[in-house]
């Protein structure tokens, strides 16, 4: 091991990227921590992973490969098991002229090379790739391998449902039960793929398992109908629900840690004609960023956002459909206000993320604690700022309006298509025009758009119809981008970006609301005041090559 470390250290010295004393320091630290030499240099900011790859390539002559763009040979990938790929952080990507092409970030790991050679009985050609890119590809190609193996084992497990349910209750045996490992494998696969939800859906003769990634559902496996009862039983046990009750909906919750990430799982079970359907919502608490800078606001929207937040009292509403990122925006606003001199109280269903310094109240309908009753109690707690998870009925809306008029800052959400139509929704709920104009200080409407993968997006010349949709008919040779799909993305897209429409309730808009003037006129006034529409924000993303025009049309944003 020492010889190998010194050889790698000599390579780094020869490259001129590190100094002799830095190498000596790193070798001492490696002896104490057992970390890899390269890892120590990266952690201390002396080198980057790319620097190390370039040094190894130049000094030893290994070819560099971007595995995200390489046309990977599936047959080559599956010549080794996923456990071996993860252990050594490498992946076979091709077979050429009798040689197996293996991508790895550490080509000096001779133990790994020998192991792969013995396992595959093939000569190897080693190419260098970045570790995080390699691990991403490993996750893509091997994510359901362990699930399939466990599923096969479970299907051979001869036991009736009653015995399984008894066994699942035995803590001593629970970790080794095949159904427990199957469920754990499904959850791990969802977390690896950064899924927001897991859907377990029973049908007449099979059970479908899907995960939602970047807003789209993808099937990851199908199970035998016989698997439904034990897997639902296990879910009920971990969610602290009644395993004997199968006729009514149930909700549960559990906090887990997977891959050093704190995951909050919200479980909803709904009886259907074919059995109990389960949805597990996955909230990654460790990766949640509450800052307003992380919202991705445009320059104009950031100005309007700050203008709204500067008001001492009134109602701020965040609107949009389910899954549009409203909760993220709410918590970003709370973080902005979370100071020692402010008493902040929330009433939520459920409490999504726990914030230090904020008094958070969970709705509990079984005890009569709904948004309206919780809000009444909050008003007796001398609050400065109140956050209501959602305004669902006229009673909650009325209390929120009156709280804002009496000097409180109220933040909440509402399901509407855009900012101006929120006014119409409140009027529909029975709130008087003068109360709306007196209480609302700003409305933030938003959507999430899928972002094109930079590795594989394809350019093309825009059609006349597309130019017309974007309002740029006079532009010549407009270049747009569309999804293509590669090893590192989800069908040509990777991640999502929020777009916003922020309507500041200025005096000219308030007067129009009091006079019961048509919503379209209010919209026009907001545009004159400087409001960016959702379509304008989406249009900019399309013209900048960040998303596709088909994605904008798919979520129903129009001018």
Q: Are residues 335 and 427 in the same domain?
A: yes
Query: Is residue 473 in some structural domain?
Result: no
Report, as an integer, the average pLDDT of 294-313.
Answer: 91
Max avg pLDDT among 39-48, 150-159, 214-223, 405-414: 405-414
Distances (CA, A) of 388 to 311, 315, 364, 412: 18, 10, 14, 5
What is the pLDDT at residue 512?
92
Higher-scoring residue by pLDDT: 127, 22? 127
Confidence of residue 289 (pLDDT cuts 50, 70, 90): low
Domain that holds residue 239: 136-154+176-284
What is the pLDDT at residue 181?
81
Q: Are residues 125 and 140 in the same domain?
A: no
Q: By the 8 A CB rule, do 91 and 102 touch?
A: yes
Write down the pTM of the prediction. 0.76
Query: Is residue 210 in some structural domain?
Result: yes
Looking at 284, 304, 330, which one is the last position of a domain? 284
CA atoms within 13 A on the CB side of 148: 9
What is the pLDDT at residue 353?
81
Residue with tokens 């909906």: 249
Q: Are residues 377 and 409 in the same domain?
A: yes
Query: Is residue 474 in some structural domain?
Result: no
The CA distance from 476 to 36, in Å, is 54
What is the pLDDT at residue 173?
46
Query: Is residue 558 in some structural domain?
Result: no
Given strand 275-284, what is the order of strands in its sheet? 216-224, 206-213, 197-202, 275-284, 261-272, 250-258
What is the pLDDT at residue 359?
93
What are the structure tokens assigned to 554, written together? 């798919």
Share above pLDDT 90 across residues of the chain, in percent, rounded to a whole number: 42
Q: What is the pLDDT of residues 413-432, one digit of tens each?
A: 999 889 999 999 999 998 99
Report, as an integer, the average pLDDT of 529-538.
Answer: 92
Q: What is the pLDDT of residues 153-178, one digit of tens each?
A: 656 554 444 444 444 444 434 545 77
Report, as an integer, the average pLDDT of 402-406.
Answer: 90
Looking at 234, 261, 284, which one is the last position of a domain? 284
Q: Are residues 83 and 206 in the same domain?
A: no
Q: Are residues 249 and 354 in the same domain?
A: no
Percentage helix, strand, coil, to 5, in the chain?
45, 25, 30
Q: Are residues 323 and 423 in the same domain?
A: yes
Q: Are residues 180 and 227 in the same domain?
A: yes
Report, as an integer, the average pLDDT of 511-533.
Answer: 91
What are the structure tokens assigned to 42, written together? 């990266």
Strands (E), 179-293: 197-202, 206-213, 216-224, 250-258, 261-272, 275-284
The CA distance from 307 to 294, in Å, is 18
Q: Are residues 262 and 301 in the same domain?
A: no
Report, as an integer, the average pLDDT of 296-309.
Answer: 92
Higher-scoring residue by pLDDT: 132, 545? 545
Look at residues 190, 354, 347 and name the one whose alpha carbon lies nearest to residue 281.
190
The CA distance from 41 to 59, in Å, is 18
Share above pLDDT 70 across residues of the chain, in percent, rounded to a whole number: 92
pLDDT, averaged across the chain? 86
CA atoms within 13 A on the CB side of 380: 4
Q: What is the pLDDT of residues 105-138, one digit of tens each?
A: 888 888 999 999 999 999 999 999 988 888 888 8
Give the CATH number of the domain where residue 352 resides.
3.40.50.300
Q: Are residues 241 and 388 in the same domain?
A: no
Contact residues for 51 (Cβ-Cβ < 8 A; gap 6+)? 17
Q: Are residues 309 and 444 in the same domain?
A: yes
Does 559 score more than 50 pLDDT? yes
Q: By the 8 A CB rule, do 260 and 302 touch?
A: no
Q: Are residues 518 and 428 in the same domain?
A: yes
What is the pLDDT at residue 158?
42
Query: Is residue 435 in some structural domain?
Result: yes
Give the CATH number of the domain where residue 58 resides.
3.30.300.160
Q: Are residues 126 and 141 in the same domain?
A: no
Give the CATH number of the domain where residue 269 resides.
3.30.450.90
Higher-scoring residue by pLDDT: 71, 286? 71
Looking at 234, 267, 284, which one is the last position of a domain? 284
Confidence of residue 144 (pLDDT cuts 50, 70, 90): low
Q: How many folded domains does the chain comprise?
A: 3
């Amino acid at each position: 091991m020492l010889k190998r470390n010194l050889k790698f250290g000599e390579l780094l010295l020869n490259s001129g990227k590190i100094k002799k004393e830095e190498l000596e320091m790193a070798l001492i630290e490696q002896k104490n921590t057992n970390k890899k030499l390269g890892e120590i240099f990266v952690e201390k900011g002396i080198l980057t992973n790319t620097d190390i790859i370039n040094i190894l390539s130049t000094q030893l002559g290994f070819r560099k490969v971007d595995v995200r763009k390489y046309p990977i040979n599936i047959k080559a990938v599956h010549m080794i098991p996923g456990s071996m790929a993860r252990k050594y952080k490498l992946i076979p990507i091709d077979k050429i002229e009798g040689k197996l092409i293996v991508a790895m970030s550490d080509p000096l790991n001779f133990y790994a090379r020998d192991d792969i050679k013995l396992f595959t009985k093939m000569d190897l050609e080693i190419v260098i790739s970045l570790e995080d890119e390699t691990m991403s590809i490993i996750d893509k190609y091997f994510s359901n391998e362990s699930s399939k193996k466990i599923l096969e084992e479970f299907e051979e497990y001869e036991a009736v449902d009653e015995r399984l349910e008894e066994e699942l209750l035995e803590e001593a045996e629970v970790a080794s039960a095949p159904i427990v490992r199957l469920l754990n494998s499904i959850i791990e696969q969802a977390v690896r793929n950064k899924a927001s939800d897991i859907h377990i859906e029973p049908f007449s003769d099979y059970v479908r398992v899907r995960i939602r990634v970047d807003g789209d559902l993808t099937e990851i496996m199908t199970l035998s109908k016989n698997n439904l009862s034990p897997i639902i039983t296990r879910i009920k046990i971990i969610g602290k629900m009644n395993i004997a009750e199968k006729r009514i909906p149930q909700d549960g919750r559990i906090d887990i840690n997977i891959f050093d990430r704190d995951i909050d799982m919200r479980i909803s079970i709904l009886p259907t004609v074919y059995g109990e359907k389960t949805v597990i919502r996955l909230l990654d608490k460790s990766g949640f960023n509450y800052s307003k800078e992380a919202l991705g606001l445009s320059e104009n929207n950031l100005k309007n956002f700050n203008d709204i937040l500067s008001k001492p009292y009134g109602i701020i509403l965040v609107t949009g459909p389910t899954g549009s990122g409203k909760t993220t925006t709410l918590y970003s606003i709370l973080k902005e206000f979370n100071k020692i001199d402010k008493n902040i109280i929330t009433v939520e269903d459920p409490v999504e993320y726990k914030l230090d310094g904020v008094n958070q109240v969970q709705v509990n309908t079984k005890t009569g604690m709904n948004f309206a009753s919780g809000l009444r109690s909050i008003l007796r707690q001398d609050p400065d700022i109140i956050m209501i998870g959602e305004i669902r009925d006229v009673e909650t809306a009325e209390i929120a309006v009156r709280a804002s008029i009496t000097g409180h800052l109220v933040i909440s959400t509402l399901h509407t298509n855009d900012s101006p139509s929120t006014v119409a929704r409140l009027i529909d709920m029975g709130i008087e025009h003068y109360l709306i104009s007196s209480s609302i200080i700003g409305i933030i409407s938003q959507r999430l758009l899928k972002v094109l993968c930079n590795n594989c997006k394809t350019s093309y010349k825009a059609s006349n119809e597309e130019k017309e949709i974007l309002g740029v008919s006079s532009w010549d040779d407009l270049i747009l981008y569309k999804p293509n799909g590669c090893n590192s993305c989800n069908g040509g897209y990777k991640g999502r970006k929020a777009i916003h429409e922020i309507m500041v309730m200025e005096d000219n808009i308030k007067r129009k609301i009091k006079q019961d003037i048509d919503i379209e006129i209010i919209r026009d006034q907001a545009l004159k005041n400087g409001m960016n529409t959702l379509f304008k924000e989406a249009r900019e993303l399309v013209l900048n090559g960040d998303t596709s025009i088909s994605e904008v049309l798919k979520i129903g944003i129009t001018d």
